[in-house]
Amino acid sequence: MNVLVVDDEKEIADLVEVYLKNENYNVYKCYTSEKAIKYIDSIKIDVAILDIMIQGKNGFEICKYIREKGLKFPVIMLTAKIEDNDKIKGLTLGADDYITKPFNPLELVARVKSALRRYTIYNNEKEEKNIIEINGLIIDKEKHKCLLYDKEIDLTPMEFDILLYLATNRGKVISSEELFENVWKEKYFDSNNTVMVHIRRIREKLNENTKNPKFIKTVWGVGYKIEN
């Protein structure tokens, strides 16, 4: 597995490299955004760890570049800031996870493993065939495709898993905590911003009316549901 590490704080980048190599990952480390772009353009990356505050193209811009190229590998954002606005911006641009500095390197390794596990499952087509159809929305679990009125919707692995979980539990109100723990496979410890931003992105891709969404309904104070 190839991991791209982008951080202009050399000590941090070097430390992350050591821990990832101990787990037998191939690490492509760079201290500049220019080198990061070269790696993205020339190497098959399996997961990227991006520092938000790097000079040149910042982490947000690099993340946007990755998604605009149609690359769907997981992106983990690193930042010294803890403002929700930064977190929401990163998730909106297509980031999968977010960790603040200072951090425990073992936690970062765990996040990398979790992201790769989700991504691998998403690309594995050996699961039992299961197609869910809801009012023109078709979710093909085997092929990991989502069609809306016969047009394929470009979802990230995380977005697909969220939509699939809600569709599989049609008619049931799913709390942010339940959604997070079943999709992210981690203990829910965050505010619901992470879930909320992903739901918003899915709705945008489904061309949902924000005031009266057709598919994903918000049950205020409780959670989300897709009706039967």
Instruction: Give residue-wise pLDDT tens across range 170-204.
Output: 999 999 999 998 998 887 765 557 888 999 999 99
Q: What is the C-alpha radius of gyration for the chain, rounded to an integer number of angstroms?
A: 18
The answer to whether the CB of 9 falls within 8 A of the CB of 49 is: no
pLDDT for position 115: 85
C-beta separation of 9 from 102 below 8 A: no
pLDDT at 104 over 70: yes
Q: How far apart are CA 3 and CA 141, in angstroms?
A: 27
- Cis status, amide bond into 74, omega within 30 of 0: no
What residues form DSSP beta bridges with 140? 131, 145
pLDDT at position 123, please? 65
pLDDT in tens, 126-154: 444 578 888 788 898 888 899 987 789 99
| Lowest mean pLDDT, pick from 49-53, 87-91, 126-130, 217-221 | 126-130
In the chain, where do the E strands start and end?
A: 2-6, 26-30, 47-51, 75-79, 97-100, 131-134, 137-140, 145-148, 151-152, 216-219, 223-226
What pLDDT does 94 receive? 86
Query: Which residues are within 8 A (CB) of 221 and not within 5 positions of it... i.e. 6 or more apart?
Result: none
What pLDDT sits at residue 127?
Answer: 47
DSSP 42: H
Question: 19 versus 92: which is more confidently predicted?
Answer: 19
Residue 161 DSSP SS3: helix
- Confidence (pLDDT) at 92: 81
Give the pLDDT of residue 88.
Answer: 76
Which pLDDT does position 121 carry in this prediction?
66
